[in-house]
Structure 1
Amino acid sequence: MTSTDQQPFLSVKDLKVHFSTEDGVVKAVDGLSFDLMRGKTLGIVGESGSGKSVTNLTILGLHNPDSTSVEGSIELDGQELNGAPEKTLEHLRGNKMAMIFQDALASLSPYHTIGAQIGEVYRKHKGASKKEARERAVEMLRRVGIPQPESRVDNYPHEFSGGMRQRAMIAMALVCDPELLIADEPTTALDVTVQAQIMDLLKDLQREFGTAIIFITHDLGVIADIADEVLVMYGGRCVERGTKKEVLSSPRHPYTWGLLSSMPSLDGPVDVPLNPIPGSPPSLLNPPSGCRFHPRCAFAEKVDGNRCAKESPVLEITNGRGSACHLTDEQRTEYLADLTAAKHH
């Protein structure tokens, strides 16, 4: 082990991921930095198209090098991943880092049994025999809560329910005991009860193995349940970062306010209307000038000199906390109080 408790297990610095298309260059991720410690969960939240999934596919090296430009640094346990040979990345994927995808049915092969697919990962990375791989698959299915794993190991994906398929995907991701687990909206298609079970399962496995987890979602309710720290993305950039409590209790960026205002409150009156964020996420082919959120922001006109449209705000992080916004602290306090009052009346 090269890392210590003080050093981040994963460190991403000034990551830029740009795609070449017929229409021009898409700046999918545009200068993103964050750290993740062992045994902690970072929640990355934002609307579709904000750059969440692209960031994590790039960490795993799952992008097309012919049409994708990747700049910046991605260090995993002291090892630089950006520019690393494909053979190195292949060894690390599954062994040291793994991903749970959103759609288990699309991610699992319909032509092979669940056990064969979990076992294949184990055989590839650990050089195990077929018998050892099958025993390991049964063990993993038991660990993720699949009943009668000795017989279910021979089932095909269509014979599993949605929740069981997602558990099987988690078993496959964890079969080689990776130290970094990336979960890309793994509970979106599941009902609330199964969603809660999957979240509890991830937390239990994290406690058992000390796994570092990146959890991608658009749902702040899920973030409240699982994350230690939160990174809010908009238009390919981080607009706010902090601990879960800081971001959810005292958000600093109007986009984060908008996400929270569009969620129902459990402790407020039931007849308060939700306030969706007006407009649509920006085109990353031709993003707006200045702050990328300014065309949708109700507070941009409060800032002097049309600054939001002209000048891109700098994300300054102090002790892990920061936001990229031109509002003053006094303005932020005033507007946030008004929003909070409106939500509870």
Structure 2
Amino acid sequence: MTTLTKTEDASAPTGPESFLSVRDLKVTFSTEDGPVKAVDGLSFDVQRGKTLGIVGESGSGKSVTNLTILGLHSPRTTTVDGEIVMDGKELITASEKELEQLRGNKMAMIFQDPLTALSPFYTVGRQLSEPFMKHRGASKKEAKDRAIEMLTKVGIPQPKTRFDDYPHQFSGGMRQRAMIAMALMCDPDLLIADEPTTALDVTVQAQILDLLKDLQQEFGSAIIFITHDLGVISQMADDLLVMYAGRAVERGSAREVMSTPKHPYTWGLLSSMPRLDSNLDEALEPIPGAPPSLLTPPDGCRFHPRCAYTDLVPGNQCSTTRPPLGDGRASACHLTAEQKQTLFIDKIQPRLR
């Protein structure tokens, strides 16, 4: 049964009034092996017309967070605590009927795999039209005109003809464009993009990213962009949240986090990225080990079993005490500010040049 409570997160972000505000979010799944803490005390803000990037390895809680915002979790197996407020509306305590009025209307999602997100039994045009008729009370003709307009806007060739095609008749890039068109049919205030370019070649990927930026400028939507690709996020995001094992470990403007990261996990992500100007014989430096099981996560900092710098922190704090994230530009790490700066300059920055 879903538990609904509101809590105050002392380390909540500060800044201008947010369109979307998430505070101390906890999402726990009930399984046969025990509770899985998929998200554990997450807080962030998203402003109108801005893009928040969320990065992290698979299993870090990125997609779970955003499916929870949309209310797409099973109340029988999921416990949700905390607060999610969108434009003054509390979403965790909202009824399913209220959420249905918001999904596809005020908030929408671009899923990672459009082939599974789109129904194979209905034409693309029908799948675009139905939400518009439901939420806007439009006629079939009005909905078709709107769908053709959106297919044109996202760059689908011959949109009047492709309106009657099925998803399998579209290429991968065209299906992703159709998913974007569907998400934007009702001019949503919040758009969640869950790794929308993962399966696309680099040319189509660049086109999709440019398209999202252009559409955001036109519609003024707040965007949450989920990815594991820091190269992509550097092009898209205004602000950046780095997640590890269900927790936020670093946040700040995308420029700050990419240029002067402060958490060892972010250092590892950046150091493991291939660079166009690097020597082809130069080996990448992967993060050692693997993310922890969220059935039995480690105490203290969840990254400490994989961190190379725990011996610099006195008193075993890394393995016993959870480091706070703090306000504004921050990282959840027990290293001092001086240690972080010295380590970054001496060990990390030379790898990123």
- Structure 1 length normalisation: TM-score? 0.96
- Equivalent residue for 1:298, pick from 303, 308, 317: 308
Distance (Å, rounded) in 1 between the aligned partners of 2:168 and 2:103: 26
Q: Does 2:110 correspond to 1:100?
A: yes
Asked if 2 retains the 8 angstrom alpha-carbon contact of 1:46 and 1:232, the reply is: yes
- How far residue 271 of structure 1 moved from its aligned partner, in angstroms, is 3.1
- Equivalent residue for 1:332, pick from 340, 347, 350: 340
Q: Does 2:51 correspond to 1:38?
A: no
SS in 2 for 1:259: helix
Number of the residue aligned with 1:272: 282
Identical positions, percent: 70
SS in 2 for 1:178: coil
- Equivalent residue for 2:299, pick from 271, 289, 293: 289
Distance (Å, rounded) in 1 between the aligned partners of 2:349 and 2:218: 42
Distance (Å, rounded) in 2 between the aligned partners of 1:7 and 1:316: 18
- How far residue 268 of structure 1 moved from its aligned partner, in angstroms, is 4.0
Letter in 2 for 1:90: E
Distance (Å, rounded) in 2 between the aligned partners of 1:243 and 1:79: 26
Distance (Å, rounded) in 2 between the aligned partners of 1:62 and 1:168: 21
Q: Does 2:88 correspond to 1:71?
A: no
Distance (Å, rounded) in 1 between the aligned partners of 2:67 and 2:347: 36
Instruction: Give structure 2 stretches of 5+ with no counterpart.
Output: 1-14
Distance (Å, rounded) in 2 between the aligned partners of 1:342 and 1:67: 47
Which digits, 9 at most, give the CA deviation of each residue in 1:59-113, with x for residues without a partner?
0000001111111110000111111111000001111000000000001111111
Letter in 2 for 1:24: G
Cα distance change of structure 1 residues 115 and 304 upon mapping to structure 2, 3 Å threshold: same
Letter in 2 for 1:174: L
- Equivalent residue for 1:256, pick from 266, 277, 282: 266
Number of the residue aligned with 2:5: none
Number of the residue aligned with 1:158: 168
Distance (Å, rounded) in 2 between the aligned partners of 1:341 and 1:65: 45
Instruction: Give structure 1 stretches of 5+ with no counterpart.
Output: none
Cα distance change of structure 1 residues 24 and 154 upon mapping to structure 2, 3 Å threshold: same
Distance (Å, rounded) in 2 between the aligned partners of 1:341 and 1:169: 39
Number of the residue aligned with 2:225: 215
- How far residue 302 of structure 1 moved from its aligned partner, in angstroms, is 1.8
Which digits, 9 at most, give the CA deviation of each residue in 1:310-338, with x for residues without a partner?
11111111xx2001000112211221122
SS in 1 for 2:207: helix
Number of the residue aligned with 1:149: 159
Letter in 1 for 2:28: H
Distance (Å, rounded) in 1 between the aligned partners of 2:276 and 2:322: 35
SS in 1 for 2:103: helix
Asked if 2 retains the 8 angstrom alpha-carbon contact of 1:269 and 1:344, the reply is: no
SS in 1 for 2:35: strand
- Equivalent residue for 2:324, pick from 314, 317, 325: 314
Please, which moves more after superposition, 334-343 or 179-188?
334-343
- How far residue 339 of structure 1 moved from its aligned partner, in angstroms, is 2.5
Distance (Å, rounded) in 1 between the aligned partners of 2:64 and 2:224: 13
Asked if 2 retains the 8 angstrom alpha-carbon contact of 1:253 and 1:323, the reply is: yes
Distance (Å, rounded) in 2 between the aligned partners of 1:98 and 1:262: 32
- Equivalent residue for 1:201, pick from 195, 208, 211: 211
Number of the residue aligned with 2:36: 26
Q: Does 2:64 correspond to 1:62?
A: no
SS in 2 for 1:266: coil
Cα distance change of structure 1 residues 344 and 15 upon mapping to structure 2, 3 Å threshold: closer
Cα distance change of structure 1 residues 85 and 137 upon mapping to structure 2, 3 Å threshold: same
Distance (Å, rounded) in 2 between the aligned partners of 1:127 and 1:311: 54
* Coordinate RMSD, CA, aligned: 1.3
- Equivalent residue for 1:323, pick from 326, 331, 335: 331
Asked if 1 retains the 8 angstrom alpha-carbon contact of 2:267 and 2:348, the reply is: no
Number of the residue aligned with 1:51: 61
- How far residue 342 of structure 1 moved from its aligned partner, in angstroms, is 4.5
Cα distance change of structure 1 residues 344 and 208 upon mapping to structure 2, 3 Å threshold: closer
Distance (Å, rounded) in 2 between the aligned partners of 1:272 and 1:35: 39
Number of the residue aligned with 1:170: 180
Number of the residue aligned with 1:232: 242
- Structure 2 length normalisation: TM-score? 0.94
SS in 1 for 2:44: strand
Distance (Å, rounded) in 1 between the aligned partners of 2:330 and 2:277: 27
- How far residue 6 of structure 1 moved from its aligned partner, in angstroms, is 3.9
Q: Figure out how many residues of one structure are paired with residues of the other and give that number.
A: 339
Asked if 2 retains the 8 angstrom alpha-carbon contact of 1:268 and 1:343, the reply is: no
Find runs of 4+ consecutive structure 1 residues off by over 6 angstroms: none
Please, which moves more after superposition, 218-227 or 265-274?
265-274
